[in-house]
Amino acid sequence: MRAVVVERPAAIESNPLRLIERARPRPAAGEILVRVRCCGVCRTDLHVAEGDLAPRHPQIVPGHEIVGVVEALGAGCRRFQPGDRVGIAWLRETCGRCKYCRTERENLCPNARFTGWDHDGGYADFAIVHEDFAYPLPAAISDEQAAPLLCAGIIGYRAIKRADVKPGATVGLYGFGGSAHLAIQVLKHWRCRIFVMSRGGTHRELAQELGAEWIGAAEEPPPAPLDAAILFAPAGGLVRPALAALDRGGILAIAGIYLSPVPTLDYESHLFYEKELRSVTANTRRDGAEFLQIAGEIQIRTHTVPLELDEANRALNLLKHDQLKGAAVLRVS
């Protein structure tokens, strides 16, 4: 089978991904083999390719927004049948025994393993996953449209929950890429008032198309205090203006797995009046199931840029330099 691997982590401009041929994986007991139809391109893939997240084994296959069909079943599988359409997301396995797994916080499991980092992902013709960690997908959403839902969408939804957003709230979105353009549709469905802080021209155009009430620079104060804010851009320097824009008791959730250094915070300006700063760590399977149900109900629109599997380096380069209007998706089969 074809597979795109991280040969050696380096700046994406040097094309560190390489297309190779390797043997088709075989599913173990409880696992399913998935023929990949397409795979979304996520900023986390960029961090793995460039070494911000050091690959957990040599020649890792990135990609964790996988849409495909079940090709074969490992021993004991009952949840899916060959031919079923499924999605594979970032969270690939947890121990199921620790205090976090036993209290519905499996995203914090210290033994968690992740698709495209610990185990090979979807930049390939085939991928394997334990059947308990695969998702059935809304029938009304096409393969290409569904791919970004599996990380950008789920993580955006997790960030909405971490920011404790209530219907009708005033919400600020800092950065407007693949994840934010899906989160805004959930927020609009909840009748929220949405302000977008983004520097990119194409990103601003998309935010306007999707119903943002106000669009400005991150350093600009929004038109009204924010009940909640979500930081999607991996820029620690934006934490200060986001916290300063919060109303009393407001919450800022940081959605990324990687963030550049955060400048010194001033207690009175940024944290007093019970403002909160929260991180987002992966997601639980419940988050994924809830979000995919909402996505199907509101027929969420994903703005995608289709590319071929051998264009993976180009896709991540476009992502790094904010040249995508929406989310890139690699067509595999």
Torsion, Cα 6 10 16 17, to 10 degrees, reads 40
Beta bridge partners, 226, equal 246
Token pair 């929260």 is found at 278
* DSSP codes joined into one string, 297-319: HHT----EEEEEGGGHHHHHHHH
Q: Are 91 and 281 in contact (CB under 8 A)?
A: no
Residues contacting residue 151 through CB under 8 Å, at least 6 positions apart: 40, 42, 44, 64, 65, 89, 90, 179
- Per-residue model confidence (pLDDT) at position 303: 87
User: In terms of Cα–Cα distance, which of 292, 305, 310 is closest to 139?
Assistant: 292
Q: Are 332 and 125 in contact (CB under 8 A)?
A: yes
- Per-residue model confidence (pLDDT) at position 256: 83
CATH H superfamily, domain 154-279 = NAD(P)-binding Rossmann-like Domain (3.40.50.720)
**Number of Cβ atoms within 10 Å of the Cβ of 174:** 24
Band (pLDDT 50/70/90 cuts) for residue 267 is very high
Three-class SS state of 229? strand
Measured distance CA(36)–CA(68) in Å, rounded: 4
Residues contacting residue 89 through CB under 8 Å, at least 6 positions apart: 64, 65, 66, 115, 133, 135, 150, 151, 154, 283, 288
pTM value is 0.91
pLDDT at 161 over 90: yes
Domain pair 2-141+302-331 / 154-279, same fold: no
Beta-strand runs (E) in 113-242: 113-114, 126-130, 134-136, 170-174, 193-197, 214-216, 226-231
**What tens digit of pLDDT does each residue of 306-331 get?**
999 999 999 999 999 988 887 899 99
Token pair 């969270």 is found at 91
CATH class for the domain made up of 2-141+302-331:
alpha beta
Residue type, 281: T
State how beta strands 304-308 and 226-231 pair. Answer: unpaired
**What tens digit of pLDDT does each residue of 231-263 get?**
999 899 999 999 999 999 999 999 988 899 999
Domain layout of the chain by residue ranges = 2-141+302-331, 154-279
**What tens digit of pLDDT does each residue of 202-230 get?**
889 889 999 999 999 988 999 999 999 99
**What tens digit of pLDDT does each residue of 9-66 get?**
999 999 999 999 999 999 999 999 999 999 999 989 999 999 998 889 899 999 999 9
> Which of 82-86, 160-164, 221-225, 318-322 bottoms out in mean pLDDT, i.e. has the lowest?
318-322
Q: Which two tokens stand for residue 49?
A: 């390719």
**Number of Cβ atoms within 10 Å of the Cβ of 110:** 10
Please report, in angstroms and rounded to a whole number, the separation of the first and last CA atoms in the chain.
Answer: 11
